[in-house]
């Protein structure tokens, strides 16, 4: 039997990966100094795009509001619109960089719905390709990601730089 090594996941499994202020991985400081380390790709007016550190597939991104909230109804119109516009921008960047054939987009609210972080609303956008699933998740409880996170970050940062002009921040 072959082994797949994923040592970067240990901090997540052990609960050591707590992230930003008060342990919320989605609460960002105003300073952009740690954006690369935190895998932040693009900051909008009310929300931002970040890579999933533990992706389901290559290019798995998340869009989160700057406001710390678990309730979609608590978002103002500008925040909700910004999350929508950033989802479209993320889709366009992923299409340009990786040419996926489809996307899964959605939110998991509550632990029973699969939310790993329940206290800060976030939306996933996962690029998909024909035949991208295989036996590994079923039999080995393992996902195979074909590219290192840092390499993916570089490609996507360039992609967001290239397409950033498409972003139109909500009024506010």
Point out the residues that are catalytic. Answer: 122
Helix 149-163 vs helix 77-98: crossing angle, to nearest 10: 110
- 103 beta partners: 127
């Amino acid at each position: 039997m072959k082994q797949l090594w994923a040592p970067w996941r240990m901090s997540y499994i052990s609960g050591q990966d707590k992230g930003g202020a008060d342990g919320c991985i989605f609460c960002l400081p105003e300073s952009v100094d740690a954006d690369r380390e935190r895998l932040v790709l693009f900051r909008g007016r009310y929300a931002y795009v970040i890579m999933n550190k533990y992706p389901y597939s290559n290019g798995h991104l998340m869009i989160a509001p700057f406001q710390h909230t678990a309730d979609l109804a608590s978002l103002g119109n500008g925040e909700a619109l910004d999350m929508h516009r950033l989802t479209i921008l993320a889709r366009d960047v992923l299409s340009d960089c990786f040419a996926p054939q489809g996307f899964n987009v959605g939110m998991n609210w509550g632990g029973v719905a699969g939310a790993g972080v329940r206290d800060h609303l976030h939306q996933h956008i996962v690029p998909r390709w024909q035949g991208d699933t295989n036996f590994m998740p079923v039999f080995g409880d393992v996902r195979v990601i074909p590219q290192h996170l840092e390499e993916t970050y570089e490609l996507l940062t360039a992609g967001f730089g290239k397409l950033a002009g498409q972003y139109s921040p909500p009024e506010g």
